[in-house]
Structure 1
């Protein structure tokens, strides 16, 4: 299984104007170098609430660190994160998300170069890009626009009367949540063979997503994820890692 297909390896479109195959990519530390959830948490609350907001963000970070150190599962930690946003107006979050993205992007060193280049090659070969992330649309939408992703599969904060409730709609886009979302999208594209599709991830929580496609790539070269992927697929060194 190679990391990237060559032009000769691109499956022919089965219908005019439809993608040749799909490419699923995690965001944080796979496509971009940062942890967008935590960076945006700091940015938003400092920008909107000043000193009180900075204390709130620091407290949330501390609680997340303690919870994960105590063994909290990644999807539970994801849900805990979104509780910190209770009472915040969605429109302000969306505007702040675009300001964060523009500033972070301009600072340089934002993208994981190998993944960014691979996604550009896939698009040129006729693929449709899909971001799959536990982050949320406020920070992922600008990224999707820049990289040309057609879909954003992400955690969805619940909103009532334009304000975040602190809960999420459905399940966090972590682990098995990613698998189910990828399967659901592929089910709506029956002419596309999952064996022709690619996926990029950096963490063991991306394993369920990576197992849904024929061409998985481990961004960052996590030895643990590579070994788990090889064991799950019962393959040799063909699983690619970056």
Structure 2
């Protein structure tokens, strides 16, 4: 079994700004949040058995298994929402999260604990995610995150989703987002932290001096071993369970 370094102690020198960057889905919370919202919506429309959900999502799973890029899979997801008012999606997402919180949101305990320590140390906290604002903002508002940079849907003049993506937050786009946040807060990347679970997070993790891998993705743990990065387990909060796509 590969041994990884311990998590670095947190910088508490308040004379210089420090930023802690987090991916969201599968890093802070154990689910793909847009798919969780889709399941919630369809269930409210009568899809008690999940048949309609499976019919919509299974083609996307097959695409992912074929090795297409995450943005291609997500593009197909957005196509499912063409013509839906974005304000309705946001309102429904607030209800989804309230329901999830009541039942037990599957937060990833070590990452959330680390987030709380960053906040207590006075660090700026930023979520950079390929997910969308509808499901991210209820979570990040609850957690007290300072800034959210994520995938944005394309809307028409009436505020309806076109089914296209205006801005995709994957791969290199995450590195660009880190640069913008560092500039916004005036932070030195060498002082900063980042947490991610997926190979798509590597560009973000590589931008800072104190990266951490979350979970057991083999490519991520191998990369962490090669570069001397710490790894934390994706252990769930007690009494909660992972929600599959």
**TM-score under structure 2 length normalisation:** 0.85
Name the residue aligned to 1:128.
Answer: 124
Instruction: Work out whether 1:3 is the aligned partner of 2:4.
Output: no
Match of 2:217 among 222, 225, 230: 222
How is 1:68-79 mapped onto 2 (pairs within 5 angstroms)? Answer: 68-79=64-75
- The count of aligned residue pairs is 226
Name the residue aligned to 1:66.
Answer: 62
Name the residue aligned to 1:203.
Answer: 198
**Counterparts of 1:212 and 1:2, CA distance in 2:** 20
Match of 1:168 among 165, 169, 174: 165
**Counterparts of 2:90 and 2:124, CA distance in 1:** 25
Instruction: Work out whether 1:28 is the aligned partner of 2:25.
Output: yes
Cα separation, partners in 2 of 1:85 and 1:4, compared to 1, 3 Å: farther
Name the residue aligned to 1:17.
Answer: none
Match of 1:241 among 205, 208, 231: 231
> Following TM superposition, by how much is the alpha carbon of 1:56 offset from its aligned partner in structure 2, in angstroms?
5.1
**Counterparts of 1:56 and 1:152, CA distance in 2:** 31
SS in 2 for 1:167: strand
**Counterparts of 2:224 and 2:169, CA distance in 1:** 19
Cα offsets for 1:172-217 (capped at 9, x unmatched)? 212222111111221333x311111111111111111110111111
**Counterparts of 1:55 and 1:176, CA distance in 2:** 36
SS in 2 for 1:98: helix
**Counterparts of 2:211 and 2:14, CA distance in 1:** 20
- Answer whether contact 1:11 1:196 (CA < 8 A) is retained: no
- Answer whether contact 2:213 2:224 (CA < 8 A) is retained: no
Flag structure 2 segments of 5+ consecutive residues without an equivalent.
233-245
Cα offsets for 1:19-61 (capped at 9, x unmatched)? x3111111111100122121111112333x445xx66533331
**Counterparts of 2:218 and 2:52, CA distance in 1:** 35
Structure with greater helix percent: 1
> Following TM superposition, by how much is the alpha carbon of 1:4 offset from its aligned partner in structure 2, in angstroms?
4.3
**Counterparts of 1:55 and 1:95, CA distance in 2:** 24
SS in 1 for 2:215: helix
> Following TM superposition, by how much is the alpha carbon of 1:222 offset from its aligned partner in structure 2, in angstroms?
2.8
**Counterparts of 1:169 and 1:2, CA distance in 2:** 39
**Counterparts of 2:105 and 2:69, CA distance in 1:** 30
Match of 2:139 among 128, 140, 143: 143
**Counterparts of 2:6 and 2:78, CA distance in 1:** 37
Flag structure 1 segments of 5+ consecutive residues without an equivalent.
15-19
How is 1:40-189 mapped onto 2 (pairs within 5 angstroms)? Answer: 40-47=37-44, 49-51=45-47, 57-108=53-104, 110-160=106-156, 161-170=158-167, 172-189=168-185
> Following TM superposition, by how much is the alpha carbon of 1:89 offset from its aligned partner in structure 2, in angstroms?
0.9
After superposition, the CA RMSD in angstroms is: 2.0
Cα separation, partners in 2 of 1:139 and 1:4, compared to 1, 3 Å: farther
